[in-house]
Amino acid sequence: MILGWLIVILIAGGLIAWPLARLHPLLSRLIALSAVTLDLALALVLATRDFGPGSTAGGGWREELDWSWIPQFGIHFHLGMDGLSFLLVLLTLFLGVVAVVVSWTEIATAVGFYHFNLLLILAGILGVLLSLDLFLFYFSWELMLVPMYFLISVWGRERRTHAAVKFFLFTQLSGLLMLIALLALYFAHHQATGIYTFEYQDLLGTPLDPHRAMWIMLGFLAAFAVKLPAFPFHTWLPDACAEASAASNLVLASLMAATAAYAMIRFLLPLFPEAVHTISPLMIVLAVIGILYSAILAFSQTNLMRLVAYASIGHLGFVLLGIFAGNSLALRGTVMTVIAHGVSIGALFLVAGAVEKRVQSREIDTMGGLWDTIPCLSGVGLFFALAALGLPGLGDFIGEFLILIGTYQAHIAAAAVAALGVLAATFYALRFVQYAFQGTNIHSWHLPDLAAHEGFVLGVLIAVLLWLGLYPQPVLQTLAQAASHAPALWR
């Protein structure tokens, strides 16, 4: 039941926040903030109840909710939570709070509609993370799409329409491929058993001949790879990030990627193990190319948001590598990377946004020497750049290390080349620091340093990254609980 509440609170909060902005924008912000915070509190309650030290390490869904929705087609409103989805739900709500707080000063127009969209996206993400019914999953997947389109196209910069349409076309087209694949699976299951159902657990065992399984898997993979985004379907992300506001970039790059990675782990790997095994060499090659490619492109970007976007694609290349490495160490590293990437890349977007707010530009050549005038923000920027380049002791390192060490077990060459990607990350991370913060203050900027709410949010993000880097065991422990649903994956 509490799972239902998680989603309902967000949607209700959005619906209330929208009209209230007419009275006063602050009301809208407060409602949105309290809705997300309440959700986060609920999730933390779950943490102590289901995943705390007292809880048993046994399997099963820790929370479950199953209502009949459209029984004629075998569609249920079926939510369930295990360790994997719990971690990502927590990440989503945490970053959701961050996004609302950061928007406090950044968003000044159409405040109510903004928060409505933001909360609706969060609800969609929770839906994706919790669905155990593939129709509900698809529904939530598409639910994220339209509000995101608005976030880009209404609150974006100059070329926002182009970016928003590009985003929409990529994700919508790939989503349609997934719909076709989903229906194919649905009918294949009916053919085999005579039952029409979208139920995850039932579809798991659907017998498919290899050829058909491959095509269906490719349909799902298309949607997930575009949303992740994986090389070579990544080009919408830099364009979108270059135009959208920092908070939407946080949602776009950190959380949408999390849903895609989650969907691959939850659905793609268990549903089509053979097909995934067949295609994994190709995906590993793509992942490795993507890691190096995006690192080099990030190095050449002059737009701060684009630079971070390419950095994000690089990290997601590691995620892809971990998913298809076919090794449980790598898979755990993947989840770790998804979380740490969400925090560190999200924070880099926030830093870029904070810089942009001060110098009124995203172009790197308008900056330089900012350390003279905004040392705190610069130091924070340095910290997150270091996290992005995989410095040991911070969250990203643990994830990438686990992925690489896991990949090494099966694909030595891939691990070695991908390790070069960690080196390549140094190029752009240091360039980011150099050109934005160091050097001479040629523009003679005199700017206000971090405001209290910015400092607080970024400080919390720093603490989280340090915690993930120095004591990731609780996360990995919680993840271990997910093992029971697809034991072959996590062994």
Partner 1 sequence: MLRLLWLVPAIPLASALALAVLRLSQKTVAWLGTCSITASSVISLLVSISFLNAPPASGAYTQILWRWFDVNGLRPEIALYLDPLSLVMMVVVAFVSFLIHLYSTEFMSGDDGYGRFFAYMNLFVGCMLTLVLANNLLLLYLGWEGVGLCSYLLIGFWYRDPANGRAGRKAFIVTRAGDTAMVIGLFLLFHDLGTLNIQDLMHRAVLQWPIGSSGALAAAFLLLSGAVGKSAQLPLQTWLPDAMAGPTPVSALIHAATMVTAGVYLIARTHTLYSLAPQAQFAAAVIGAATLLMAGFSALTQHDLKRVLAYSTISQIGYMFLALGVGAWPAAIFHFMTHAFFKALLFLGAGIVIESLGGEHDIFRMGGLRQKLPVTFWTFLVAGCSLAGLPLITAGAFSKGWIVWGAYSAANGSAELWVVALAGVFLTALYTFRMIFLVFFGQQNSQVTRKPGPAMVIPCLILAFLSIAGGYIRTPFASYLSTVLAWNPGITRSPSFGEMFSEAIVALVFFLGLCLAYVFFLRRRDYSTVLASSPAGSVLHRFWFSDWGMDWLYDHLFVRPVVWIAKVGKGDPIDGFYAGVGRLNEIAWRGLSLSQSGRLRWYAAAVAAGTIVLIGVVIFS
Stretch that binds partner 1, among 4-12, 200-208, 280-288, 429-437 (CB under 8 A): 429-437
Question: Which of 203, 404, 465, 482 forms a contact with partner 1 (CB under 8 A)?
Answer: 404
175 is a contact residue toward partner 1 (CB under 8 A): no
| Residue with smaller CB distance to partner 1, 127 or 395 | 395
* Smallest distance from partner 1 to CB 434, Å: 5
Task: Examine residue 434 and tell whether it contacts partner 1 (CB under 8 A).
Answer: yes
Name which position in 438, 443, 447, 460 contacts partner 1 (CB under 8 A): 438
Does residue 172 touch partner 1 according to CB under 8 A?
A: no
Q: How far is the CB of 195 from partner 1 (least distance, A)?
A: 37
> Of residues 264, 311, 347, 386, which one binds partner 1 by CB under 8 A?
386
Under rule CB under 8 A, residue 440 binds partner 1: yes
Of 437, 454, 464, 465, the residue at the interface with partner 1 (CB under 8 A) is 437
Residues 273-302 that bind partner 1 (CB under 8 A): 293, 296-297, 299-301
User: Considering the rule CB under 8 A, would residue 444 count as an interface residue with partner 1?
Assistant: no
Q: Determine which residue in the list 371, 457, 461, 465 makes contact with partner 1, applying CB under 8 A.
A: 371
Does residue 379 interact with partner 1 by CB under 8 A?
A: yes
Is residue 398 part of the contact set for partner 1 (CB under 8 A)? yes
Cβ proximity to partner 1: between 203 and 287 the closer is 287
Q: Which of 317, 324, 229 is CA-nearest to residue 268?
A: 324
Closest contact distance (angstroms) between CB of 409 and partner 1 is: 6
- Is residue 65 near partner 1 by the rule CB under 8 A? no
Q: How many CA atoms lie within 13 A of 205 on its CB side?
A: 5
3-class secondary structure per residue, the chain: CHHHHHHHHHHHHHHHHHHHHHHCHHHHHHHHHHHHHHHHHHHHHHHHHHCCCCCCCCCCCCEEEEEEEEHHHCEEEEEEECHHHHHHHHHHHHHHHHHHHHHHHHCCCCHHHHHHHHHHHHHHHHHHHHECEHHHHHHHHHHCHHHHHHHHHHHCCCCHHHHHHHHHHHHHHHHHHHHHHHHHHHHHHHHHHCCCCCEHHHHHCCCCCHHHHHHHHHHHHHHHHHHCCCCCCCCHHHHHHHHCCHHHHHHHHHHHHHHHHHHHHHHHHHHCHHHHHHHHHHHHHHHHHHHHHHHHHHHHCCEHHHHHHHHHHHHHHHHHHHHHCCCHHHHHHHHHHHHHHHHHHHHHHHHHHHHHHHHCCCEHHHCCCHHHHCHHHHHHHHHHHHHHCCCCCCHHHHHHHHHHHHHHHHCHHHHHHHHHHHHHHHHHHHHHHHHHCCCCCCCCCCCCCCCHHHHHHHHHHHHHHHHHHHCCHHHHHHHHHHHHHCHHHHC
Residue 127 found at the interface with partner 1 (CB under 8 A): no
161 vs 300, beta carbon nearer partner 1: 300
Q: How far is the CB of 439 from partner 1 (least distance, A)?
A: 5
Give the interface segment with partner 1, choosing from 19-27, 175-183, 187-195, 385-393 (CB under 8 A): 385-393
Contacts of 332 (CB under 8 A, 6+ apart): 402, 406, 476, 479, 490
CB of 415 to partner 1, least distance (A): 6
User: Taking contact as CB under 8 A, which single stretch among the options 23-31, 192-200, 228-236, 341-349 is the one that binds partner 1?
Assistant: 228-236
- From 202, 426, 445, 447, residue interacting with partner 1 (rule: CB under 8 A): 426
Least Å distance, CB 460 to partner 1, is 14
Residues near partner 1 (CB under 8 A)? 166, 231-232, 234-235, 238-239, 293, 296-297, 299-301, 328-329, 332, 369, 371-372, 375, 379, 386, 391-393, 398, 401-402, 404-405, 408-409, 415-416, 419-420, 422-423, 426-427, 430-431, 434, 437-441, 470-473, 476
